Amino acid sequence: QVQLAESGGGLVQAGGSLRLSCAASGRLFSSYAMGWFRQAPGKEREFVGTISRSGLKTYYTDSVKGRFSIARDNAKSTVYLQMNSLKPEDTAVYYCAAESTVGDVIIIADYDYWGQGTQVTVSS
């Protein structure tokens, strides 16, 4: 099992940047694919991006491609979401998620473990 805790959210002006962190506790962080999701007020939670166990493979939803990037440090059991060129429509609660995988694959759905979320607000 793994426990996840996000941090780094806050208020930023449009065009600015934020880096979110997700610290994992528990065993074998390097055996989990990690994902980032977000949920805006009144909307369903949506997939943002994912990174494989090794960190060599990533995948992003179209709306954030070229602006967001995911990285991980397995030695620190932490995954990061770097968000650049932020837009007001990026305002949401951001969640990290973990899923144990066999092999170095990316996953866009059906995660088993979730953090509590961190609020990101982008002002225009």
What pLDDT, in 10s, does the model give residues 3-56? 999 999 999 999 999 999 999 998 799 999 999 999 999 999 999 999 999 999
Mean pLDDT on 94-119: 95
DSSP E strand boundaries for the chain: 2-7, 10-13, 18-26, 32-39, 46-51, 58-60, 68-73, 78-83, 92-100, 113-114, 118-123
* pLDDT: which is higher, 114 or 103: 114
Mean pLDDT on 49-73: 97
pLDDT of residue 114: 97
In the predicted model, is pLDDT for residue 1 greater than 90? no
Q: The dihedral of CA 63, 107, 18, 95: what is its sign?
A: positive
Mean pLDDT on 97-113: 93
pLDDT of residue 27: 78
